[in-house]
Amino acid sequence: MASEQQILEVIRKVITDDIGIKVEYDPNSSLLRDGVMDSMDWISFLTVVEEKFGIEISPEDANKHSIAVPSNLVRYLLERLD
């Protein structure tokens, strides 16, 4: 099973390498609200995360778990990958 730090690193790589966003961000702040990503980036980001972790994230789960905040996404993934 992956650790929180390993998952955060994968998320960081998705943001910088796959989505092409090269800005610093706070893992405890919203990638959307803080302007790190726009809605098109967000859709691409979710698609890559789903592929990398072999899961499907429903819109309901995305909202319920506030996964636009990387630390929340890590907790969500840890629960799903357990």
- Residues 34-48 pLDDT 10s: 999 999 999 999 999
Question: 52-82 pLDDT, tens per residue?
Answer: 999 999 999 999 999 999 999 999 999 998 7
Looking at residue 82, what is its pLDDT?
Answer: 74
Q: Which amino acid is at 13?
A: K
pLDDT tens digits for range 15-32: 999 999 999 999 999 999
pTM across the whole model: 0.91
pLDDT at 56: 96
Q: What is the CATH number of domain 4-81?
A: 1.10.1200.10
H helical segments located in 1-82: 4-13, 39-53, 59-64, 70-81
List Cα–Cα distances, 44 to 3, 19, 39, 49, in angstroms: 24, 7, 9, 9
Q: What is the pLDDT of residue 2?
A: 83
